[in-house]
Amino acid sequence: MEKKQVISALKKTVSGIKKALPDLVGVLLLIGLVLQLDFGKVSGYFSGNQVIDTIFGASLGSIAAGNPITSYILGGELLDKGISLVAVTAFMLAWVTVGIVQLPGEILIMGRKFAIIRNSSSFLLAIVVSFAVVATLRALQ
């Protein structure tokens, strides 16, 4: 590559970052707010109905997205509070794969159609896979 091409590419990259920066900062601030949820209190909202709890768990995980290690800690806390394994598994899968909070940034960078399809399919798969994982674990016992 020629020096002019490299400089042109760097200018375009910096311009793209400047353009996306306000949205990305907003997403990071929103993530910070969501992570302040008290999951001890949240466990009281689970109904005991496995299907409803699984959908609620996946929804909660979708909103309060985070890193995988944190999901294990929160999942353990929810299991200790008597939440079903299917609901906790759906929560953990959605926590890692769905990102409602990051959606504005993802739309900006990846495009609206892709971001919505990816998040929707990840949400549905989190529910389906959680039932499959628990069924597999029960079959192995």
- Each domain of the chain, given as residue ranges in start order, spans 3-140
Q: For 11-52, what is each residue's pLDDT tens digit?
A: 998 888 888 787 777 767 766 665 666 666 777 788 889 999
Residue type (1 letter), 32 = G
Q: CA 129, CA 55: separation in Å to the nearest integer?
A: 12
Maximal CA-CA distance, the chain? 64
pTM of the model: 0.72
Q: What does R_g of the chain's alpha carbons equal in angstroms?
A: 19
Q: Is the pLDDT of residue 63 over 80?
A: yes
Percent of the chain with pLDDT over 70: 89
